[in-house]
Structure 1
Amino acid sequence: MRKLLASALALVMIAAVCGYGFWTQQRPEGHYLSDLRIELALNHGVPGEHGNLLGIEPVLYPSDYQNLQRLHRKLSAYFEQAREQGLINPRTVVVLPEHIGTLLWARGEKNELYQVTQYREAWQWLELSNPLHYGLAMLGATGDDRRSDAHLRMKARQMADDYQQLFGSLAREFGVTLVAGSIVLPAPYVERGQLHVGNGPLFNSSLVFASDGSVLGQPQRQRYPDSEVRRYIEGDQQPLQVLQTPAGRLGVLVGSDSWYPQNYQQLADQSAQLIANPVFLSGKGSWHSPWRGNRHQQAAGTLPLAKGDVSEQDAWRQLTLDANPSTPAISVFLRGQFWELGADGQGFISQAGEQLAGNPSAGARLLNLWL
């Protein structure tokens, strides 16, 4: 009798494990509807032979990341509207916002992950749906926030492949140089034209794609991650790179790297002629909230503002303009709602000691500077 009960219990356990394993592999897709409209908030200068810097500030949601086809469709609709307005040509440099690639961790998950309202609930669905990958990633996680590290590390190879496929195809489809926002990956590097992930710490990095879809240079890693992510993302002090594009020599400063004059000096020493600054600012309505500063970072002590002195809007504009008095630059923010976490900010252009912000809008925005 005991052997019979033990055998029955073993069968039940095997059935439960097999059922759970089968459940984790199911990825049905839910209904999808998205707003593809975008407003031309700023168009400065006169079209000419030198090209233009074009910032695209999309409005994105978790459901946009359920598969690559959805995200490509939405982003390409923005590109197409820019092309219809005469803003895309072979010398155009398009800039997308920070962390637009990082959110690829949500690609290919269960419907429940996109439907919950809290970020931590989405984490739980990610962990439950990928128990083996999550467990292995936790073993290799580093930093003070090992859980966040593991979430990104567990899907890093898929994210890197998706990032290159998606943004390389957009650059090729529209014939532009594309600064593909940023993506957080472990020790990323490019070898033989392919983006790879390493075994080291997580870095917030931006990749630039040429008009044929190929990669230009190496991933540009963020030097000064802000206080919200420094518990699991490391800063990198390798020299900044400048890339040759049809519009001129391009430098990329990720996020709050645009606040520090020494970064612009590095780019100037390499004869940079234009600068792209992909940005992510978390929190609904945070653009008009008191500036959070950049805590726990030695370099922040050199900044002329203290936490709370001004609004986020005024801090970003003042610090970026003060640090860069001359080189044409564009700062581009991600918009949208990611579970309970909003993304805010209004992009702006810096040129010849002045700053241009264009019309504020709650929707997607285009910002264009003719060079």
Structure 2
Amino acid sequence: MRKLLCGALALIVIAALGGYGFWTLQRPEGHYLSDLRIELALNQGEPGARGNLLGVEPLLFPGDYQNLTRLQRKLSAYLQQARDQGLINPRTVVVLPEHIGTWLWARGEKPMLYQVTHRREAWQWLELSNPVRYGLAMLQATGEDRRADAHLRMKADQMAADYQQVFGELAKAFGVTLVAGSIILPAPYVEDGVLRAGRGPLFNSSVVFAADGSLLGQPQRQRYPDSELRRFVEPGQMQPQQILDTPAGRLAVLLGSDSWYADNYRQLHAQSVELIANPAFLAGADRWQGPWRGNRHQPAAQALPLQRGAVSEAQAWQHLTQAAGGGTASISVFMRGQFWEQAASGQGFINQAGQQRIAPAHPGARLLNVWL
């Protein structure tokens, strides 16, 4: 009898595990309606021979990341509307916001992950649907927030390939230089024209694509990660600032809060930079008008000319990026939309010839353009 009970129990366990394993492989997709409209919020200067910096502030939600076709269709629709308005030419440099690639960790998951209202619930579905990958990633995770590290590390190879596919194809389809916001990957690098995830700590990095879809330079790592990222993202201060030659001029990327630090601008000016792209992300629906939180975990932040809480986020970003200088054109673009309970805020702006232009508030997706 005992052998019979043990055998029956073993069959039940095997059946349960088999059923769970089969369930984890299922990824059904439903219908999804997306708003493809985008507003030209700011258009500075007149068309000329040098080209333009074109910022795209997309309105994105978790469902946009369920498959690559959805994401690519939405971004293509935005760029097509820009082309229809005469804002795209062979010398155009398109700039997308920070973390537009990071959310690729949500690609190809179960419908419930996109339907829940809180990010922690989405994490639970991610872990339940990928038990082996998550477990192995936890063994390699580092930093204070090992769970967040594992979520990104477990799908890093897939994310790197998806990122190159989506944004490389966009750059090629529209014949533009594309600053593809950023993506968090473990020790990313470019080898033989392919973006690869390494096996080291996580870095928040930006990649630039040429008009033929190829990669320009190496991933530019964020040098001073903000307080929200520092628990699982390493600073990239050991990597020098890159200057990339583009049809519009010598381009550099200052990722997120890296645009606050005067030392970064000094390094770029010493290399005769002409264009600065600043992809940014700000979490919190009312954060833009709220008190500036600074970056108290970065020693370099002590030298910033503003005090935490003394000004708003908007005032701090706009003041600190003016260090770009009169001879350099810079553009700051922010993510829009909502990822579970976390809304994104921020209003893009442009610095050129010592003057700053701020895009007016608008609830939807926005284009910001400056002619060089």
Under a length normalisation based on structure 1, what TM-score does the superposition of the two structures give?
Answer: 0.99
- 2:51 maps to what in 1? 51
Equivalent-residue separation in structure 2 for 1:323 and 1:241 (angstroms): 16
Give the equivalent residue in structure 1 for 2:151: 151
- CA shift digits 1:119-156 (9 cap, x unpaired): 00000000000000000000000001000000000000
CA drift at 1:325: 4.6
The answer as to whether partners of 1:189 and 1:219 remain within 8 angstroms in 2 is yes
Which segments of 5 or more consecutive residues in structure 1 lack a partner in the other structure?
A: none
2:176 aligned partner, one-letter code = V
Instruction: Report the counterpart of residue 7 of structure 1 in structure 2.
Output: 7
* Residues 177, 209 of structure 2: 8 Å contact kept: yes
User: Is the Cα contact below 8 Å between 1:334 and 1:345 reproduced in 2?
Assistant: yes
Instruction: Determine the C-alpha separation between the residues in 1 that align with 2:173 and 2:323.
Output: 37
Give the corresponding residue for 2:195.
Answer: 195
- Contact 2:283 2:345 (C-alpha < 8 Å) held by counterparts: yes
Counterpart in the other structure of 1:23: 23
1:230 is paired with a residue whose SS is coil
1:321 Cα offset (Å): 1.0
Q: 1:303 to 1:83 in 2, by over 3 A?
A: same
1:93 aligns to 2:54 (yes or no): no
Alignment partner of 1:124: what SS? helix
* CA deviation after TM superposition for structure 1 residue 358, in Å: 2.6
Structure 2 match to 1:228? 228
Could you tell me how far 1:318 is from its partner in structure 2? 0.6
| Deviation (angstroms), 1:67 | 0.2
Q: Report the Cα distance in structure 2 between the residues aligned to 1:358 and 1:343, rounded to whole angstroms.
A: 16
What CA distance in whole angstroms lies between the structure 1 residues aligned with 2:115 and 2:307?
39
Instruction: Report the counterpart of residue 268 of structure 2 in structure 1.
Output: 267
| Partner residue, 1:257 | 258
Cα distance in structure 1, aligned partners of 2:91 and 2:201: 35
In the alignment, residue 200 of structure 1 is paired with which amino acid? G
Matching of residue 310 in structure 1 with residue 333 in structure 2? no
Q: Distance in 2 between matches of 1:304 and 1:128?
A: 46
Contact 2:324 2:330 in 1 (8 A): no
Contact 2:292 2:313 in 1 (8 A): yes
Q: How many angstroms apart in 1 are the aligned matches of 2:258 and 2:317?
A: 11
Query: How big is the shift at 1:323?
Result: 5.2
Can you list the C-alpha shifts for 1:242-279, whole angstroms capped at 9, x where unaligned? Answer: 00000001000000000111111111111111010000
Residue 40 of structure 1 pairs with residue 40 of structure 2: yes
Kept in 2, the 8 Å contact 1:259–1:323? The answer is no
5+ long unaligned stretches in structure 2: none
Aligned to 2:278: 277
CA distance in 2: counterparts of 1:267 and 1:19, whole angstroms: 56
Question: What is the root-mean-square deviation of aligned Cα atoms in Å?
Answer: 0.7
| Cα distance in 2 between the residues matched to 1:182 and 1:234 | 14
- On the 8 A contact 1:283/1:341 being kept in 2, the answer is yes
CA contact (8 A) 1:46 1:370 kept: yes
The answer to whether 1:319 aligns with 2:329 is: no
User: How many angstroms apart in 1 are the aligned matches of 2:258 and 2:221?
Assistant: 10
Q: After superposition, give the CA deviation of every residue in 1:186-240 in whole Å (9 maximum; x if it has no partner).
A: 0000011000111110000000000000000000000000000101001111110
Aligned mates of 1:312, 1:10 — CA distance in 2: 59
Question: How far apart are residue 324 of structure 1 and its match?
Answer: 3.9
For residues 193 and 303 of structure 2, what CA distance do their matches in structure 1 show?
38
Distance in 1, Cα, partners of 2:20 & 2:294: 45
Q: Which amino acid aligns with 1:310?
A: V
User: Are the counterparts in 1 of residues 101 and 183 from structure 2 also a CA contact under 8 Å?
Assistant: yes
Structure 2 distance, partners of 1:89, 1:287, is 32
Larger deviation, residues 284-293 vs 163-172: 284-293
Equivalents in 2 of 1:86, 1:171: separation in Å? 17
Counterpart of 1:83 in 2: which secondary structure?
Answer: helix
For 1:31 and 1:73, the matched residues in 2 are separated by 14
User: Is 1:216 aligned to residue 216 of structure 2?
Assistant: yes
Which one-letter code corresponds to 1:309 in the other structure? A
Partner in structure 2 of residue 68 of structure 1: 68
Q: Which runs of 4+ in 1 moved over 2 A?
A: 322-326
Question: 1:71 offset after TM fit, Å?
Answer: 0.2
Change (3 A) 1:324 1:228: farther
Q: Which amino acid aligns with 2:286?
A: G
Amino acid at match of 1:356: R
Measured against aligned partners, the alpha-carbon deviations of 1:72-130 in whole angstroms (never above 9, x if no partner) come to: 00000000000000000000000000000000000000000000000000000000000
Tell me which residue corresponds to 1:126.
126
Residues 334-370 of structure 1: CA deviation (Å, up to 9, x unaligned): 0010000011001000112211013221111000000
* TM-score (normalizing by structure 2): 0.99
Contact 1:55 1:95 in 2 (8 A): yes
Question: What percentage of residue pairs aligned between the two structures are identical?
Answer: 73
Q: Distance in 1 between matches of 2:67 and 2:24?
A: 17
Matched residue, 2:287: 286
- Contact 1:225 1:256 (C-alpha < 8 Å) held by counterparts: yes
Counterpart in the other structure of 1:140: 140
Answer yes or no: is the 8 Å Cα contact 2:296–2:302 preserved in 1.
Answer: no
* Other structure's SS at 1:359 match: coil
Equivalent pairs, count:
371
Q: Distance in 1 between matches of 2:184 and 2:103?
A: 9
